[in-house]
């Protein structure tokens, strides 16, 4: 029996009902009578008695986080004797054979259920189970009837399934919500370094711009100019064309996935003008500047990194990833097959070690020259001394790596970039990036008669077009030679002189 009493509140009678729940705890509910206190006590008492007799505690949602599949089962149980047998059978079959199994694998509470979740379910039935239109309509009818029940119980304000068409994707999806879902999906589909780049771009630039605009995927499909406006905004803010092109790549890939799964009928990113890629011209050091740099960093923690980048043309990840097993002192070779990268994910800095290089072509073997061999022997001796001095405090995790500090910790890639900049500034040297040492290496090789093909193999580029695109300026000397060769066929003239003189 449901107990109850009247209470006066703000000049009106309130009915206070109480009962014992399934968990054995006392539950309560306040219901307004709508009757003013003055002159209505008997009417209020009569209404209280009627309400107590008709009140069903089972219709009170004790747990506001009731899962949607649990709610469907409850609805079937409650309505079993109220529905026509054939209709009940149809609902029960749809719910037990299809709807509940899906939502048990994709749990969501009744109160948090959205049109997006229902749309995903209908899409799953269409694409994975090849459900017919008749099947979809029957599933939809069951869901709609169940949500009507939730509305009647005042658990929901409206039936979100009512306006939906289960046979077509029509639920509006915010672009910012979808690109975050896509990003999470990519976490397990791409390298951690690639995911980090995606995440930094999407969370740091794309989401902040689109968040307050509330564009849906369908809005972008109808009006690609929204994407074009974003690119122009970034360019006006001082971002380079190459940076915007990278952001375009993220947006396009995300929207291509939306197109593939049927959320949109075309990829709007394919209908805009992306900025023209600017040709990169590296700032490099010539032989004299490198000689000065080598003398400056001698004995500095960055010495090894500078030599590996400037002489061998190693990438930063290859510099830090170099291991002792990559050095063959007998055959005088150095093999590039390990890398260490540093990424930032969700505000945390992670160091990623790999026993492979960026590409298959990046895995290469180079000659071990005498000066570098001497440096390696010196570093090996220093590490052995440091292990004895530090004892148990020496880090044993990176004994197979060459680039470690005095207590055995692996030198982080970001240290090279940051410390290199400080060294240049403190010694008044020309400002270049650490990666520009790799470009300086290529320029010196070419200046000494090494072909682009040989430079490609030395640097570990997968395609010679990459080498030629980056180092197009190196081709000028070959063009000068060609021009001088053609002079042999030029009409004799006292004014004819060799090109370049």
CB–CB of 111/155 below 8 Å?
yes
Q: Would you state the pLDDT for residue 84? A: 87
Q: Model confidence over 51-84: pLDDT tens digits?
A: 888 777 766 555 456 899 999 998 998 888 888 8
Q: Would you state the pLDDT for residue 3? A: 82
CB–CB of 471/455 below 8 Å?
yes
Query: How far is 142 from 138, CA to CA, in rounded Å?
Result: 6
Q: Would you state the pLDDT for residue 453? A: 82
Confidence of residue 190 (pLDDT cuts 50, 70, 90): confident
State how beta strands 333-336 and 327-328 pair: antiparallel
Query: How far is 381 from 375, CA to CA, in rounded Å?
Result: 10
Q: Which residues pair with 196 in a beta bridge?
A: none
Mean pLDDT along residues 292-311: 91
pLDDT at 208 over 90: yes
pLDDT at 492 over 70: no
The per-residue pLDDT of the chain, averaged, comes to: 84
Q: Would you state the pLDDT for residue 501? A: 47
Q: Would you state the pLDDT for residue 162? A: 87
89-93, 351-355, 421-425: least confident range: 351-355
SS3 339: strand
pLDDT at 493 over 80: no
Rounded to whole angstroms, what are the CA distances from 288 to 57, 285, 429, 440?
89, 8, 12, 12
Query: How far is 95 from 59, CA to CA, in rounded Å?
Result: 20
301-326 exposure pattern, b = at least 16 Cβ within 10 A, e = fewer? ebbbbbbbbbbbbbbbbbbbbbbeeb
Q: Which tokens hold the place of 394?
A: 């020496």
Q: Would you state the pLDDT for residue 24? A: 66
- Percent of all residues in the chain with a pLDDT value above 70, rounded to a whole number: 85
pLDDT at 244 over 50: yes
pLDDT at 482 over 60: no
- Helix 133-152 vs helix 115-127: crossing angle, to nearest 10: 160
Confidence of residue 10 (pLDDT cuts 50, 70, 90): low
Q: Would you state the pLDDT for residue 206? A: 96
Query: How far is 122 from 124, CA to CA, in rounded Å?
Result: 5
Mean pLDDT along residues 246-263: 91
Q: Would you state the pLDDT for residue 293? A: 93
Mean pLDDT along residues 3-24: 75
**Residues 149, 151, 154, 155: is their CA dihedral positive or negative?**
positive
**Chain length of the chain:** 501
pLDDT at 480 over 70: no
Q: Model confidence over 150-169: pLDDT tens digits?
A: 888 778 888 988 888 888 76
CB–CB of 344/196 below 8 Å?
yes
Mean pLDDT along residues 417-436: 93
CB–CB of 336/308 below 8 Å?
no
CB–CB of 334/312 below 8 Å?
yes
State how beta strands 12-20 and 339-345 pair: unpaired
Confidence of residue 446 (pLDDT cuts 50, 70, 90): confident
Q: Model confidence over 108-136: pLDDT tens digits?
A: 889 889 888 898 899 889 888 888 888 99
pLDDT at 25 over 90: no
pLDDT at 181 over 60: yes
Q: Would you state the pLDDT for residue 29? A: 67
CB–CB of 413/313 below 8 Å?
no
User: Alpha-carbon Rg of the chain, whole angstroms?
Assistant: 36
184 CA to centre of own chain: 6
Mean pLDDT along residues 85-92: 91
Q: Which residues pair with 366 in a beta bridge?
A: 334
Confidence of residue 496 (pLDDT cuts 50, 70, 90): very low
pLDDT at 370 over 90: no
């Amino acid at each position: 029996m449901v107990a109850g009493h009247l209470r006066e509140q703000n000049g009106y009678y309130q009915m206070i009902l109480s009962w014992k729940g399934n968990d054995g705890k006392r539950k309560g509910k306040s219901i307004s009578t709508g009757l003013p206190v003055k002159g209505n006590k008997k009417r209020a008492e009569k209404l209280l008695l009627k309400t107590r007799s008709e009140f069903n505690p089972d219709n009170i949602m004790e747990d506001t986080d009731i899962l949607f599949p649990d709610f469907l089962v409850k609805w079937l149980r409650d309505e079993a004797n109220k529905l026509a047998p054939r209709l009940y059978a149809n609902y029960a079959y749809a719910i037990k054979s299809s709807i509940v199994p899906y939502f048990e694998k994709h749990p969501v509470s009744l109160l948090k259920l959205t049109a997006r979740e229902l749309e995903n379910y209908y899409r799953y039935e269409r694409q994975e189970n090849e459900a017919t239109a008749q099947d979809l309509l029957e599933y939809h009818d069951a869901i709609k009837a169940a949500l009507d029940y939730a509305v009647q119980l005042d658990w929901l304000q409206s039936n979100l399934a009512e306006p939906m068409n289960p046979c077509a994707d029509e639920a509006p999806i915010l672009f910012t919500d979808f690109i975050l879902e896509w990003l999470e999906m990519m976490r397990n589909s791409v390298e951690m370094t690639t995911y980090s780049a995606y995440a930094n771009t999407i969370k740091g630039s794309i989401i902040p711009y689109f968040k307050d605009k509330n564009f849906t995927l369908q809005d972008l499909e109808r009006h690609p100019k929204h994407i074009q406006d974003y690119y122009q905004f970034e360019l006006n803010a001082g971002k380079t064309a190459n940076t915007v092109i990278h952001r375009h790549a993220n947006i396009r890939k995300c929207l291509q996935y939306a197109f593939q799964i049927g959320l949109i009928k075309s990829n709007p990113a394919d209908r805009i003008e992306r900025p023209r890629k600017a040709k990169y011209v590296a700032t490099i050091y010539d032989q004299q500047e490198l000689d000065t740099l080598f003398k400056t960093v001698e004995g500095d923690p960055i010495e090894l990194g500078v030599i590996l980048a400037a002489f061998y043309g190693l990438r930063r990840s290859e510099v830090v990833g170099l291991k002792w097993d990559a050095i063959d002192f007998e055959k005088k070779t150095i093999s590039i097959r390990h890398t260490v990268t540093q990424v930032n994910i969700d505000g945390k800095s992670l160091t990623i070690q790999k026993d492979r290089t960026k590409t298959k072509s990046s895995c290469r073997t180079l000659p071990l020259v005498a000066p570098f061999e001497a440096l390696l022997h010196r570093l090996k001796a220093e590490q052995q001394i440091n292990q004895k001095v530090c004892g148990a405090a020496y880090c044993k995790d990176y004994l197979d790596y060459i680039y470690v500090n005095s207590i055995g910790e692996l030198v982080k890639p970001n240290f090279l970039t940051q410390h290199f900049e400080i060294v240049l500034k403190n010694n008044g040297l020309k400002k270049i990036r650490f990666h520009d040492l790799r470009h300086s290496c290529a320029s010196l090789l070419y200046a000494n008669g090494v072909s682009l093909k040989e430079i490609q193999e030395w640097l570990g580029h997968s395609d010679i077009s990459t080498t030629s695109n980056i180092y197009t300026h190196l081709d000028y000397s070959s063009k000068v030679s060609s021009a001088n060769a053609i002079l042999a066929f030029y009409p004799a003239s006292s004014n004819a002189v060799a090109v370049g003189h």
